Amino acid sequence: SQQGEEDPQALSIQEGENATMNCSYKTSINNLQWYRQNSGRGLVHLILIRSNEREKHSGRLRVTLDTSKKSSSLLITASRAADTASYFCATDKNTGGFKTIFGAGTRLFVKA
């Protein structure tokens, strides 16, 4: 499979619940990024976590990175209807290349 694969493909939860999305990748990375995309819009950068970091927080977002398992998770706590979007992980290889590989995304639907 491609570098940066999210799991699950789709997730439906109630407002107030936590949402967890996972990302797996295959090759060594320099950093991993998470983005949100509302339908038909551009991608919005959420968090970048470097390969020497294990956890990062930003507001209601918590990202973990396990380089030994080549995986990352994005946790959104106390979800809101406005969090409804697609979420993508993306990886920069550590070879110094200029290319970022995006996964297929997780479609999150938060019911009010």
Partner 1 sequence: EPEVTQTPSHQVTQMGQEVILRCVPISNHLYFYWYRQILGQKVEFLVSFYNNEISEKSEIFDDQFSVERPDGSNFTLKIRSTKLEDSAMYFCASRPQGYGYTFGSGTRLTVV
What are the residues binding partner 1 (CB under 8 A)?
Answer: 2, 30-31, 33, 35, 40-45, 47-48, 88, 90, 97-105
Beta carbon nearer to partner 1, 59 or 112: 59
Beta carbon nearer to partner 1, 16 or 97: 97
SS3 18: coil
User: Do 23 and 89 contact (CB within 8 A), yes or no?
Assistant: yes
**Shortest distance (Å) from residue 63 CB to partner 1:** 12
**Shortest distance (Å) from residue 79 CB to partner 1:** 22
**Shortest distance (Å) from residue 104 CB to partner 1:** 5
Instruction: Determine if the peptide bond prior to 8 is cis (ω within 30°).
Output: yes
Beta carbon nearer to partner 1, 32 or 76: 32
**Shortest distance (Å) from residue 22 CB to partner 1:** 17
Q: What are phi and psi of 83, to 5 degrees?
A: -80, -10
Q: Give 51's contacts (C-beta < 8 A, 6+ positions apart).
A: 28, 29, 30, 31, 32, 65, 67, 94
Beta carbon nearer to partner 1, 14 or 27: 27
Q: Determine the Cα–Cα distance for residues 69 and 60; give it in Å rounded to an integer.
A: 24
